[in-house]
Amino acid sequence: MTMAELSNAKTNAQDKPSGASAVFNGRYMPPPEDGGGQRWVRTSMIIQASAEALYARWRDVESATQWHGQTVNVRRTGMKTSHWTMMVGDKKIEWESEILADEPGRRIAWHSIGGDLDEAGEVIFEPATGGRGTMVTVLQEYRMGALENLSQTISGRNPKQGVIESLRHFKALAETGEIPRTEGQPHGPRGAIANMKRSMYGETVPTPPGELRRAG
Amino acid sequence: MKAVCWMGKSKIETHDVVDPVLLNPHDAILRVTRTAICGSDLHLFDGFIPTMEEGDVMGHEFMGIVEEVGSEVTNIKRGDRVVVPFTIACGNCLFCKKKLWAACDNTNPNAHLMETMYGYSGSGLFGYSHMMGGYAGGQAQYVRVPFANVGPLKIENDLPDEKVLFLSDVFPTGYMAAENAHIQEGDTVAVWGCGPVGQFAIASAYLLGAARVIAIDRFPERLEMARRRGAICVDYAEEDVSVLTALKDVTGGVGPDSCIDAVGLEAHLADVQGLYDKVKTALMLEQDRPGALRQAIQAVRKGGTVSIPGVYGGMLDKVPFGAAFGKGITMKMGQTNMHSYMKPLLDLIEKGAIDPSDIISHRITLNEAPEMYKVWRDKQESVTKIVIDPWAERVAA
């Protein structure tokens, strides 16, 4: 079955992102540029944990609600497939995801195979230079109209920034066992300007819950 | 509870707000017993630091008694008396492992804001704008302390709060400034700004082997305090005093081995240059007024060191980089890596080598805080340091 057949009505022009790595053959490789309806984002972070442990955390798709932004439910539907539900503001987005490549401790690639989201991604885990932990690189491609992209950016978080924040939360959780948050702390009267700033700064987007049982 | 809130530029108010609750498993809640206003809070008051929101609880210098801890907190328990560092560190990331606590990767929920402005994000801070995390501060009756296994320092002696409170920021900041100045035995060190950080930098410079410290300020009470610590005082506001000439005159033309800029982004200079910065910042053509930094770079001897504990927030204008290069100077700066300094400095206080409480000039209540921000900003009433008792209704100053 070809990739085009797999990905129902909305066809991915390319099978999947590949070569997330920023260096190939001794040369720096820039991330793919947006175009042809595709939007790309590549981001990487150094995490103080083993590649095996980080791979296992990422591969355990149902636990992604702990750290994956705005993701309220992930249900495993098969060996390689899962059903994802995201809440963007008060809009519910659902899609099926399928794992395309699975190399334990090294790499996972996936793509959507139907639903409200048309995306494909890859994550690689490699030892950081000098034994400084594990470098985790995410390359994500998605298709979204300019209007939808703008509306998500204004109402909450730019989808590209969302990918970066998800990796940041993944890292915080892996390194500390929690995700830093400020929702629910005391403050004086906010007023209209403060509320506008909160939205502009992305503070109205809920922080994922983190792994450990919430305190209190 | 009562809390001091930022309500806009030049607008600080005390409000009744909800009590903080545990939000994460490594959180602790403190009943604040003493808190202070920091000179850097005046930068927020004056609107120099972006991403403040109306209603933000101020304050990053505080201590208290542990009221409640989250499920994963093991280092402190209810009833412990602790001082809290103003920078929040996770203890586990690459930077915490290198003891660069102020560069922690994991404690700023709004890291993306700082990345947009500065390229990288530092750690979260209490009560110091949303790009620095947006954490509610400690000028309040209670405060939530995240990552409580890593930051809070237990005080297990009977020293009064006032003697240990400044371990939360200004004492370690002044000490790190002196350490960053690479002081060698016999060195001459010049310090711009004799507020609390400057005072601790002067004391620390002597502790680290300086033979002589030159203190630069314009307020008599601060200069007198510096003189009592053994510094030579230069009052730059006095007629006929040029700081650069003074520093050459007293060092045989060599210049100080190390210069410490404990002023930061709101320098006041009496000359044309000072006017230049005032006009440019007023017109929003420049974000900071780096007058002290310019002088420090110009004054330092060939191959000397400029250490910068003063806070800067944006793009700087007319920095004499040619002089910096020509003399081959070293510059070292940044938020204090608090967690490395608190325990050793507590030992110094316990031994009686230093009494940090000698900088306090005013003791106030939370209700009096808004007025005192103004008083300190306008440099009235000879303020050197303001300490707040959050539970007092009225305190004799």
Cα A169–A171–A174 angle (5° rounding)? 110
Q: Kindly determine whether residue B113 and residue A201, on different chains, have CB atoms separated by under 8 Å.
A: yes
The answer to whether position B7 is within a domain reads yes
Residues B90, B141 share a domain? yes
Single-letter residue type at B61: E
Q: Kindly determine whether residue A201 and residue B124, on different chains, have CB atoms separated by under 8 Å.
A: no
The contact set of A with B (CB < 8 A) is 45-46, 48, 132-133, 161, 164-165, 168, 171-172, 175-191, 193-194, 197-198, 201-203, 207, 210, 212-216
Domains in chain A, number: 1
Single-letter residue type at B384: T
Closest Cβ opposite residue A215 in set B22, B130, B133: B22
pLDDT, tens digit, 9 for 90 and up, residues B238-265: 989 999 999 999 999 999 999 999 998 8
Most B CBs within 10 Å, among A136, A185, A197, A212, to test the B interface: A185
Most A CBs within 10 Å, among B106, B108, B112, B117, to test the A interface: B106
B13 interfaces chain A, CB cutoff of 8 Å: yes
Distances from the Cα of B220 to the Cαs of A1, B236, B380, in angstroms?
83, 11, 12
The answer to whether position B321 is within a domain reads yes
Residues B84, B133 share a domain? yes
In this structure, what CATH number is given to the domain that contains residue B298? Answer: 3.40.50.720
Residue A10 pLDDT greater than 50, yes or no: no
Closest Cβ opposite residue B72 in set A189, A202, A212: A212
Q: Kindly determine whether residue A185 and residue B136, on different chains, have CB atoms separated by under 8 Å.
A: yes
Name the residue range of residue B149's domain. Answer: 2-169+337-388
Residues B232, B101 share a domain? no
Average pLDDT over residues A32-49: 93
List, as ranges, residues 63-82 from B with C-beta within 8 Å of A: 70-72
Residue B316 pLDDT greater than 90, yes or no: no
Q: Closest residue of B to A211, CA-based?
A: B25
Q: Closest residue of A to B58, CA-based?
A: A187
Name the residue range of residue A51's domain. Answer: 38-58+101-181+191-200
Smallest CA–CA distance, residue B24 to chain A, in Å, is 6
Cα B386–B391–B393 angle (5° rounding)? 85
Residues B12, B142 share a domain? yes
State residue B362 phi and psi, 5-degree precision: -135, 140
Residues B148, B7 share a domain? yes
The answer to whether position B118 is within a domain reads yes
Closest Cβ opposite residue B53 in set A175, A186, A198: A198
Most A CBs within 10 Å, among B54, B68, B72, B98, to test the A interface: B54
Residue B100, pLDDT score: 98
Residue B63 pLDDT greater than 90, yes or no: yes
Smallest CA–CA distance, residue B332 to chain A, in Å, is 25
The answer to whether position B301 is within a domain reads yes
Q: Closest residue of A to B123, CA-based?
A: A180
Residue B132 pLDDT greater than 90, yes or no: yes
- Out of B316, B333, B350, a domain closes at B333
Distance, CA of B359 to chain centre: 14
Contacts of B124 in chain A (CB under 8 A): 180
Model confidence at A148, pLDDT cuts 50, 70, 90, reads confident
Single-letter residue type at B240: D
Distance, CA of B147 to chain centre: 21
The answer to whether position A26 is within a domain reads no
Residue B397 pLDDT greater than 60, yes or no: no
d(CA A159, CA B59): 34
User: Sign of the C-alpha dihedral, residues A185, A188, A189, A194?
Assistant: negative
Residue A212 pLDDT greater than 70, yes or no: no
For residue B209, which of B176, B247, B182 has the smallest C-alpha distance? B182
Residue A158, pLDDT score: 87
Closest Cβ opposite residue A187 in set B13, B57, B112: B57
Domains in chain B, number: 2
pLDDT, tens digit, 9 for 90 and up, residues B376-396: 999 888 999 999 999 998 755
pLDDT, tens digit, 9 for 90 and up, residues A64-114: 999 999 999 999 999 999 999 999 888 899 999 999 999 999 999 999 999
Q: Closest residue of A to B91, CA-based?
A: A176
Average pLDDT over residues B291-309: 97
Most A CBs within 10 Å, among B1, B13, B18, B24, to test the A interface: B24
In this structure, what CATH number is given to the domain that contains residue A165? Answer: 3.30.530.20
pTM of the model: 0.92
Count of A-B CB contacts under 8 Å: 142
Contacts of B107 in chain A (CB under 8 A): 180
Residue A216 pLDDT greater than 80, yes or no: no
Closest Cβ opposite residue A215 in set B1, B24, B133: B24
The answer to whether position B111 is within a domain reads yes
Residue B395, pLDDT score: 55
Residue A5 pLDDT greater than 50, yes or no: no
Model confidence at A17, pLDDT cuts 50, 70, 90, reads low
Average pLDDT over residues B109-118: 93
Residue A95, pLDDT score: 96
Contacts of A48 in chain B (CB under 8 A): 92-94, 97
Q: Kindly determine whether residue A191 and residue B136, on different chains, have CB atoms separated by under 8 Å.
A: no
The answer to whether position A82 is within a domain reads no
Residue B346, pLDDT score: 98
pLDDT, tens digit, 9 for 90 and up, residues B145-201: 999 999 999 999 999 999 999 999 999 999 999 999 999 999 999 999 999 999 999
Segment holding B275, helix H or strand E: helix B272-282
CA end-to-end distance (rounded Å), chain B: 23
Kindly report the average pLDDT of chain B as a whole number.
Answer: 94
d(CA B6, CA A7): 52
The answer to whether position B396 is within a domain reads no
In this structure, what CATH number is given to the domain that contains residue B381? Answer: 3.90.180.10
Residue A200 pLDDT greater than 70, yes or no: yes
Residues B142, B35 share a domain? yes
DSSP B290-352: -HHHHHHHHHSPTT-EEEE-S---S---S--HHHHHHHT-EEEE-S--GGGTHHHHHHHHHHT
What sections of B20-121 are H helices per DSSP?
A: 41-45, 94-97, 111-118
> Residue B123 carries which DSSP code?
-
The answer to whether position A24 is within a domain reads no
Residue B321, pLDDT score: 96
By the 8 A CB rule, do B218 and B241 touch? no
Residue A3, pLDDT score: 38
The answer to whether position B393 is within a domain reads no
State residue B364 phi and psi, 5-degree precision: -135, 175
The answer to whether position B394 is within a domain reads no
Kindly give, in sequence order, each residue whose CB lies less than 8 Å from that of residue B22, ignoring residues fewer than 6 positions away: A215, A216, B28, B29, B68, B69, B70, B144
d(CA B95, CA B85): 17
Model confidence at B286, pLDDT cuts 50, 70, 90, reads low
Smallest CA–CA distance, residue A56 to chain B, in Å, is 19
Closest Cβ opposite residue B94 in set A133, A180, A193: A133
Residues B213, B163 share a domain? no
